[in-house]
Chains A and B, each alone.
Chain A
Amino acid sequence: MKRAALFLLALPLVAAGPTTVIRNATVITVTKGTFVGSVLIRDGKIVEAGEKVLVPDGARVIDATGKFVMPGIIDCHSHIAADSINEGAVAVSSMVGIEDVVNPDDPDIYRALAGGVTTANVLHGSANPIGGKCEVMKMRWGKDAAGLKFEGAMPGIKFALGENVKRSGSPGGGFGNSPGLRYPASRMGVEDVIREAFTEARAYQKEWRDYQAKVDRHEQAIPPRRDLKLEPLVEVLEGKRYVHAHCYRADEILMLLRVADDFGFKVRTLQHVLEGYKVAKEIAAHGAGASTFSDWWAYKAEAYDAIPYNAALMVRKGVLVSLNSDSAELMRHLNTEAAKAMKYGGLNETEALSLVTINPAKQLGIENRVGSIEPGKDADLAIFDKHPLSNYAKVDKVFIDGELYFDREKDLEERPGKEARKKALSDKLKQQEKKERKRPESPGEKKGDEPGGAQ
């Protein structure tokens, strides 16, 4: 019995990797200044960070002389590791969620990791005014779908406004195979769909409250029928689920804020929000965060007034701002995306790095766990060989929960072996094909003309 208990106690230690000290690094804490010193990691947590840190007996020591340690990067808007993105057949698809389609084998997870990303908010697409539920995940490459989940993170849901949403209401513009046209086709319709949905959600909420009141009074009561579409919206009304709303133009941003005010909920983040700089005051007053691109513009009509000063300008007006990728590629260099907010709008280094660390952590409600180098937080760290705001910097090592999930040295070492294994497999396939070609063809079966590529 005692042995079993010990074993149980020891388990988290094993999962979290050995006690580790990263030494002689320039430590960019983001929230508590920058200094040359060490970070002590134990049981998956940051225990200490300072200029002088004692190395415990038996600790693994990583010498990072000349290198830079920063908190793992957090991407507030991603679509990696999901097998499908859009349920566009209906205007309100709050019954679906990313959680059910997570693909832990997506190589984009590893690629993001190799760019210093440790946490991402994986969202439903932008096909409908109210989309599906999101999942916040850590880039724990090698773990299964459940193992990626950022346990304890606040649930979220995707909303979307503007062009992408309207498209399904225009002939020839639909997403996927949705037959015919789908309401809405205008920004007016988008507002209506959201108001209709929350009007229903309120009524549904009342049904449950009435039922609960009866139960509390020990009266006989029949529970209402569960509605999987409205349930997440009731959670929004009750502050138990965050709204992450894709938007571009100032008018639609303001529209959504007012709808939220009318129904008494908060928009947690405005996503993309490329014209956020035009209504920064109103965004700040509502208390919404803004998660934007650094400098994308002009790829569609609603992005024509997008400016690279957006992030900095909103910061100056008191908005909580993050920079996101919305792209498996851009996700690999969010650190240098942050540098663009220094060039365009004059943020300082800490403000710039906050855009991809502590600010998105706050937006996702996980700032007590990640987003900065502070004792007690998860040991999610990225080591760069140069200052992370330099275009010449590359990622050396990445830790999540104190475990080493990316090591460039190891990656390079493993390449010849992987290459050899790949070659062996493809040789085997070729031989097999040769053998089959020699055999006479069975009727109705034709081989040898197929492309080699994967399905």
Chain B
Amino acid sequence: MRIFLTLLLALAPLSAAEPILLRGAVVHPVSGPDIPEGAVLVRDGKIAEVGAHISVPKGARVIELKGLHIYPGMIDSATELGLSEIGAVREMNDISDLGLFKPQLRASAAVNPASEHIPVTRANGITSVITSPGGGIIAGQSVLMHLNGWTMEDMAVRAPVAIRMEYPHVQMPGRFGGGEAPGRVSAYTEAKKRYEQQVRELNDFMESARRYGQAKATPGPDFETDLRLEAMLPVLDGKLPLLIRAEKEKTIKEAIAFADKQKVHMILERGAEAWKVAAELKAHDIPVILPPTLRLPDEEDDPYDKPFSVPGELYKAGVKFAFASFGPGSEDNPRNLPYQAAAAVGFGLPVEEALKAVTLYPAQIWGVGGELGSIEKGKWADLIVTDGDPLETRTEIKQVFIKGQSVDLENKHHRLYEKYLTR
């Protein structure tokens, strides 16, 4: 008897690897039609089977989910999660560093896996995010990570997943710094000069990186490693995308021409005026990480609903895109990602597309379409169990699985709620 017990105890740690069968729920694979009463079998962290009827494998834990729904976990394509704990406190921010060109900086080296934002975010069904560094022209390396793990090594899906940069543009000093017309002209001339200088520096930097790559291929006696240039090589080889932030039509066009000339794989970040360049984006097969849908129109005389209708317009133009929160450094909460998607639905985006743009499309855009983003055999078992449509605020997220592991939904907010409810 005692031996038996010991044996059971010894086996306990292994139980995490036991197959899990989720059944009785409406399964929304996103990549294919819904299964009204379906099942998902999870083994070794991956999805082993999806279907209407799956027989219970030996030793599997069965979870009955009648009346509930299973969706793939959601992916937030632009965050500062783990790099910024409290936006206004300098000591709690590691988002940006000094200098204009710093592709060697790795977000994955500075993400705090114990950040309170992580459990708060995943409690609403977001299971992985892109965390990006900021500042300068080439900001550094973004990471695609799961929102569960003791260390970055547990969490990283792709580190790096892209190198992030902001395309130079004319930046005028603040509205109030302009002064009278003559002053404004000189301020503009100066800003324009600075922009032209930055474009030259950017092209020079790319050229240096290219030459460095050539030198490295056949290293002479005086070849020296340069970590900054080294970091650009996967981008020049087309193995790593360049995530380029550009807002205005002119800047987006310049960024496209730049990516073309440099023969790099471009992902457009934000692109507030991407709708003006939709045909070019489509022609170049450049996907867009959309700015928050819930924002004010960019121009005073834009239609009031312009930000709401842009995703639908891009969809009609055949441009691929994903939604993103750009939080939590500001008030934007990554947990509200699904609502950024929902806000576009009333204004022309089909609801299925909205859902895909927080699941399957981001996975495809980030080059992990075979691993994340839908409920398909062979993908990571990143699953959320809900009582309804996850794009609706009122829907409750009942369970979250990341890499097949049931994740604790407890978080700082709920803890404080419970504590003060009893006061």
Report which A residues bind B (CB closer than 8 A): 107-108, 110-111, 114, 163, 277-278, 280-281, 295-301, 303-305, 307-309, 313, 316, 327-330, 332-333, 336, 339-340, 342-345, 385-386, 389-394, 411, 415, 418, 422, 446, 449-451, 453-455
Contacts and interface: CB of A to CB of B under 8 A. Distances in A.
B86 A298 contact: yes
Contacts of B330: 299
Given A333-B294, A345-B417, A389-B394, A422 B336 contact: no
Contact of A415 (B85, B303, B328, B420): B303
B420 A336 contact: no
A343 B343 CA distance: 18
Contacts of A330: 294
Nearest to A308: B413
Given A313-B420, A313-B421, A336-B393, A300 B413 contact: no
A58 to B, nearest CB: 32
A329 B294 contact: yes
Given A304-B86, A329-B296, A340-B393, A295 B333 contact: yes
Contacts of A453: 172
A393 B417 contact: no
B136 interface: no
Contacts of A411: 303-304
Contact of A394 (B88, B296, B346, B413): B346
B172 A343 contact: no
A450 B339 contact: no
Interface stretch (B182-190, B221-229, B230-238, B314-322): B182-190
Interface of B: 85-89, 116-117, 170, 172, 175, 178, 181, 184-185, 188-189, 294-297, 300-301, 303-305, 308, 328-331, 333, 335-336, 339, 342-343, 345-347, 351, 391-396, 412-414, 416-417, 420-421, 423
Contacts of A281: 423
A309 B346 contact: no
A390 B389 CA distance: 11
A295 B336 contact: yes
A277 B414 CA distance: 12
Contacts of A313: 417, 420-421
27 contacts: A107-B301, A111-B297, A280-B420, A295-B335, A295-B336, A298-B117, A299-B329, A299-B331, A301-B88, A307-B414, A308-B413, A309-B414, A328-B296, A339-B392, A342-B394, A343-B393, A343-B394, A385-B346, A390-B392, A391-B339, A394-B308, A394-B346, A411-B304, A422-B301, A446-B185, A451-B172, A451-B188
A411 B343 CA distance: 19
A300 B330 CA distance: 9
Task: Give 10 closest A-B pairs by Cβ, nearest first.
Answer: A391-B342, A300-B88, A309-B417, A339-B393, A394-B346, A299-B87, A307-B413, A114-B304, A296-B331, A111-B304
A300 B86 contact: yes
Contact of A300 (B87, B181, B335): B87
Contacts of A332: 294
A90 to B, nearest CB: 21
Given A392-B346, A455-B184, 14 more contacts: A110-B304, A111-B297, A295-B333, A316-B421, A329-B295, A336-B393, A390-B392, A391-B342, A391-B392, A394-B347, A411-B303, A449-B188, A450-B185, A453-B172
A281 B117 CA distance: 29
Nearest to A316: B421
A332 B306 CA distance: 13
A391 B391 contact: yes
Contacts of B85: 298
Contact of A449 (B189, B305, B395): B189
Greatest chain A CB density within 10 A among B346, B391, B393 is at B393
Dominant secondary structure of chain A at its interface with chain B: loop
B169 to A, nearest CB: 12
Greatest chain A CB density within 10 A among B336, B420, B423 is at B420
Nearest to B343: A391
A389 B392 CA distance: 9
A301 B89 contact: yes
Contacts of B297: 111
A313 B304 CA distance: 34
B396 A343 contact: yes
B188 A339 contact: no
A114 B305 contact: yes
A278 B422 CA distance: 10
B390 to A, nearest CB: 10
B333 A339 contact: no
Nearest to B88: A300
Contacts of B391: 391
A343 B172 CA distance: 43
A366 B304 CA distance: 28
A305 B303 CA distance: 37
A84 B117 CA distance: 34
Contact of B87 (A114, A298, A392): A298
B322 to A, nearest CB: 18
Given A299-B87, A329-B295, A305 B394 contact: no
Contacts of A308: 413
Contacts of A299: 86-88, 328-331
Contacts of A110: 304
Contacts of B414: 307, 309
A301 B305 contact: no
A393 to B, nearest CB: 7
Greatest chain B CB density within 10 A among A110, A163, A392, A394 is at A392
A396 to B, nearest CB: 11
Contacts of A114: 304-305
Contact of A298 (B181, B328, B393): B328
Contacts of B294: 329-330, 332-333
B188 A450 contact: yes
A305 B116 CA distance: 11
A390 B347 CA distance: 14
A339 B394 contact: yes
Contacts of B328: 298-299
A163 B86 CA distance: 14
Nearest to B189: A449
A305 B416 contact: yes
Contacts of A328: 296
A342 B181 CA distance: 52
Contacts of B89: 300-301
A301 B423 contact: no
A176 to B, nearest CB: 10
Contacts of A329: 294-296
A190 B52 CA distance: 64
Greatest chain A CB density within 10 A among B331, B395, B421 is at B331
Greatest chain B CB density within 10 A among A111, A328, A332 is at A332
Contact of B345 (A300, A305, A392, A454): A392
B409 to A, nearest CB: 13
A280 B420 CA distance: 9
A90 B85 CA distance: 32
A176 B296 CA distance: 24
Contacts of A300: 86-89
Nearest to B120: A297
A453 B170 CA distance: 12
Contacts of B351: 392
